[in-house]
Amino acid sequence: MSSPRGQFSSKTGFILAASGSAVGLGNIWGFPTNAAENGGGAFVLIYFVLAFCLAYPALMAELIIGRHTRSNMVSALQKISTGEMARKVGKYTGFFGVIIATLILSFYSIVAGWMLAFLLEPLSTITGLSEVSDWLTEFGNTRNLIFSAVFMIFTTAVISAGVEQGIEKWSCRLMPSMLLLMVCLIVYVMFQEGALTGLKVYLLPDFRQIGDPQLIASAMGQAFFSLSLGVGTMLIYGSYLGPDENLPAMGAIVTLVDSSIAFLAGLLVLPALFVAQQQGVTIYSEAGNLIAGPDLIFQTLPALFHGMGAIGIPVGLVFFCLMTIAALTSSISMLEVPVSYTIENHRIGRPTSAWLIGTIIFIFSGFIVLNFDTLFNFTVTLTTEYSQPLLGLMLCIFATWVWHRDKMLAEIRSGYPQVEQSLFWKIWPSYVRFCCPALILLMFVQGVLN
Ligand code: PFF
């Protein structure tokens, strides 16, 4: 039987859930390392411009379509289409979104599993179980499989509890805790020797890099991934919003929270790298670049925590707790995409659907773990660099070319009757119709050619 649709019980519930989806490993890991690799402050600057000028308008397209149609991406794009052809394209685009969300979760849960393993490591160190510590921190199939399974169980349990009792309740608990942990860590790191050098690398823009197509493509990919765009997570969260909410304001708050937390993460990770350097940890690769990627999180920072002595244990614990929470609030939004589709289009109950899809995703993760060298980077690139921007482009096209303009405008007006006097009303519809698709396409092609 299909269950009645859920709904967020409050504005704050929606904002925390949507920000929870947006704020994830992409912010705390991806953003600072991208900044470090792409000219520090220059990347930060371009990122903020793109987040508000490109990702925010695309986010609005998803929220507006979602709230109007009150359905998952597959049905939503069909509902706003008029001709037979458009409906078909809508259906396949929606379906593609569901598959990409599923694939993103397949690799995301592996990485989140590593965070869980590193979270447990300080506990095994305290209790003197050094063999367990080694097992937890060394790359191995068994560890990867077990922890991605544990992480998927947490994710699935939240989604199976529903929109209000699962997604909203847990986002409201986890998001404030995450912010608190992060602020504590930033304050601690800032007082350590070397932090100031990291701050300079992070914030001083290298203007020579500002027009670099590689930098712009990275910033666009980062902005789309960070705001969870294209795959229907924001669309489905929008569909759980009431008609009397002011959508442009809600979207703006989510974009602001997401960018601010990414910025804060930079204040933590880059200074921490240079604190590690003070303690003798190598932070530059042989090619002379700052260490980024997995080595940064799983070698450089743990080396820093170990070098701190006794205080390093709680600091490491807090850091990986922060990472795990950030990953969890994002992964629940990814799982909601295929789950809402099966609930609504195949009339399967929520718990059955959640556990069934959770298991399928774990099987995909297992495949990736067992063929790590060939499948991991391939899946990441295919989903985040290629599919997400293209799906974002399709959603802009559906919102402004396919959907009847009056209906779209009426949906924006709902919950914000004075919108006609706002800048949003004057700019957004034509901007998303002409500029967004052209800009996304241009940067996408440039990125691919590079
Ligand atoms: N926004 C998340 C992050 O920054 O880690 C990742 C993400 C969540 C991507 C949900 C896609 C998605 F559907």
Query: Is the CB of residue 8 less than 8 Å from the CB of residue 164?
Result: yes
Number of CB atoms found within 10 A of residue 155's CB: 28
Contacts of 59 (CB under 8 A, 6+ apart): 227, 229, 234, 251, 254, 255
The pLDDT score that the predictor gives to residue 2 is: 42
Of 336, 337, 303, 338, the closest CA to residue 319 belongs to 303
Query: Is the CB of residue 17 less than 8 Å from the CB of residue 223?
Result: no
The pLDDT score that the predictor gives to residue 269 is: 93
The preferred substitution site among 109, 334, 382 for testing ligand 1, maximizing ligand atoms within 8 Å of CB, is 334
Q: What is the DSSP letter of 5?
A: P
The pLDDT score that the predictor gives to residue 3 is: 46
Closest approach atom of ligand 1 to CA 25: 5
Instruction: Please identify, in words, the CATH class of the domain defined by 11-449.
Output: mainly alpha
Q: How many helices (H) does the chain have, and how many strands (E)?
A: 23, 0
Q: Which residues lie across from 290 on neighbouring strands? A: 284
Q: How far is residue 62's CA from residue 255's CA, in Å, rounded to a whole number?
A: 13
Q: How far is residue 43's CA from residue 93's CA, in Å, rounded to a whole number?
A: 31
The pLDDT score that the predictor gives to residue 234 is: 98
Q: How far is residue 201's CA from residue 221's CA, in Å, rounded to a whole number?
A: 22
Atom 11 (ligand 1) nearest CA: 228
> Which protein residues touch ligand 1 with a CB less than 6 Å away?
21-22, 24-27, 101, 104, 225-226, 228, 231, 233, 330, 333-334
Closest approach atom of ligand 1 to CA 230: 13
CA of 367 to the centre of ligand 1 (A): 21
The pLDDT score that the predictor gives to residue 375 is: 98
The pLDDT score that the predictor gives to residue 39 is: 79
Of 358, 343, 354, the closest CA to residue 3 belongs to 343
pLDDT along the chain (450 residues), means of 10: 75 97 94 85 92 95 98 98 96 98 98 97 90 95 98 98 97 96 95 94 85 82 92 98 96 97 95 93 87 87 89 93 97 98 96 98 98 96 91 96 96 96 96 95 82
The pLDDT score that the predictor gives to residue 1 is: 39
CA of 257 to the centre of ligand 1 (A): 14
Q: How far is residue 317's CA from residue 335's CA, in Å, rounded to a whole number?
A: 27
Q: What is the DSSP letter of 419?
A: G
Q: What is the DSSP letter of 286?
A: T
* Claim: this prediction has a pTM higher than 0.85: yes
Of 117, 69, 43, the closest CA to residue 327 belongs to 117
Domain ranges for the chain: 11-449
Q: How far is residue 407's CA from residue 18's CA, in Å, rounded to a whole number?
A: 24
The pLDDT score that the predictor gives to residue 4 is: 67
Q: Is 224 helix (H, G, I), strand (E, B) or coil?
A: helix
Atom 12 (ligand 1) nearest CA: 228
Query: Is the CB of residue 331 less than 8 Å from the CB of residue 112?
Result: yes
